[in-house]
Structure 1
């Protein structure tokens, strides 16, 4: 009951402050497993997605969000679990497998699973190459994929940190994508890439973002290396 009350309070606060606009919510099936795949601009994306979808949406998140000690840790745990986050240790060698299997369990239970194919927040507001986990899940579970675009969340929280700013947010959903034509091919890397690229193409169309055919993690590493090199030369 406490989770329901907390979500209601948080939802009311976010509606008053950010006036989220929703487009295409009817594209999310009312029952059965479904994957919602979206762009990722800030950690607030999951909160806005949970707010505008009638069904509960589950996500994968770092376990440190719910294991931090003290009052701050308890508040963080309540905050993220209210948003439907399932904590997973993603730093180990098997972190990707654990996340994938958690997503499969959620879908096998007929629930909604939210995923960000970029794998991390965009470093500059552009849309980066998707990782194939979304395709693996879609082909393993036969769940439809609803592409989603978060628009304006980067204005609410520029740079992904600091105190949120008041700004309107739009959450836009596209038509469900189904990939039954690839049944039994969830280990074919060419098929997985084709499915992932199709999903990302729809996300790009919905969001209007510029697309970069590079993994966001690689772009972040390159930027960090360039900054370090610049500091060394200064």
Structure 2
């Protein structure tokens, strides 16, 4: 109920008014049944604009810190992230990734849409980075199709570190669903999971027009700065 209220009455109308999203391929998202929405990740606002334009509810996972903050800010975060269909996952431990995938599998088996960012973190420079194989594991475990969703310019609308977004048109391109049923029975096969993930990332590259970098974004972010 809160998801519907936020989307249609509280936040959604203002987002449509100021950012007038242009969406291509919306018909590629199935009207019913499970599907994995695999998106590139350019900005914090990706998790806002994609649910805005999709008729069905999308469930994402978000770090638990957004749900257990204190004070007014903590209360606002809990209302917003809970109300927009995001589920808290503790990312501090070694089992964080497994917890996120278990949540995704449960959502998909219930027949819903699950959103995932294969890069694992936001792009540090607007390029597309190597995908992690969690998206493939979900597809193999649940049989759900993977729908590639390309956020085109959200890094310009709200660059990392910027609190207030720029007023400009948001663009989203949604590709045809990818069916990986030909790999049925190959859950846990690292070669197959990497092949599936690379196919998803190729589709995202084609849709977004981003330059592809075959390294993990998190690895680049963790590198110490170069001094001269």
TM range (shorter): over 0.9
Pairwise mapping of residues 117-196 of structure 1 onto structure 2 (< 5 A)? 117-196=118-197
Cα distance in structure 2, aligned partners of 1:52 and 1:5: 15
Could you tell me whether the CA contact under 8 Å between 2:157 and 2:166 is conserved in 1? yes
SS of the residue 2:87 aligns to: strand
Q: TM-score if structure 2 supplies the norm length?
A: 0.97
* Residue 17 of structure 1: aligned partner: 18
Change (3 A) 1:190 1:92: same
SS of the residue 2:23 aligns to: strand
SS of the residue 1:67 aligns to: coil
Could you tell me whether the CA contact under 8 Å between 1:154 and 1:160 is conserved in 2? no
Q: Alpha-carbon deviation of 1:3?
A: 4.0
Cα distance in structure 2, aligned partners of 1:23 and 1:2: 27
* Residue 77 of structure 1: aligned partner: 78
Could you tell me whether the CA contact under 8 Å between 1:20 and 1:169 is conserved in 2? yes
Cα distance in structure 1, aligned partners of 2:93 and 2:99: 10
SS of the residue 2:187 aligns to: coil
Q: Alpha-carbon deviation of 1:7?
A: 2.4
Q: Alpha-carbon deviation of 1:2?
A: 4.1
Cα distance in structure 2, aligned partners of 1:190 and 1:10: 43
Could you tell me whether the CA contact under 8 Å between 2:124 and 2:217 is conserved in 1? yes
Cα distance in structure 1, aligned partners of 2:165 and 2:91: 26
Could you tell me whether the CA contact under 8 Å between 1:24 and 1:173 is conserved in 2? yes
Pairwise mapping of residues 41-120 of structure 1 onto structure 2 (< 5 A)? 41-120=42-121
Higher helix share: 1
> Which deviates more from structure 2 when the two are superposed, residues 81-90 or residues 141-150?
81-90
Q: Alpha-carbon deviation of 1:164?
A: 1.1
Cα distance in structure 1, aligned partners of 2:200 and 2:49: 20
Cα distance in structure 2, aligned partners of 1:177 and 1:6: 31
Q: Alpha-carbon deviation of 1:181?
A: 0.7
Q: Alpha-carbon deviation of 1:6?
A: 2.4
SS of the residue 2:33 aligns to: coil
Q: Alpha-carbon deviation of 1:197?
A: 0.1
Q: Structure 1: any 5+ residue segments left out of the alignment?
A: none
* RMSD of Structure 2 on Structure 1 (CA): 1.1
Cα distance in structure 2, aligned partners of 1:6 and 1:118: 28
Cα distance in structure 1, aligned partners of 2:68 and 2:180: 37
SS of the residue 1:68 aligns to: coil
Q: Alpha-carbon deviation of 1:160?
A: 4.5
Pairwise mapping of residues 214-225 of structure 1 onto structure 2 (< 5 A)? 214-222=215-223, 225=224
Q: Alpha-carbon deviation of 1:71?
A: 1.1
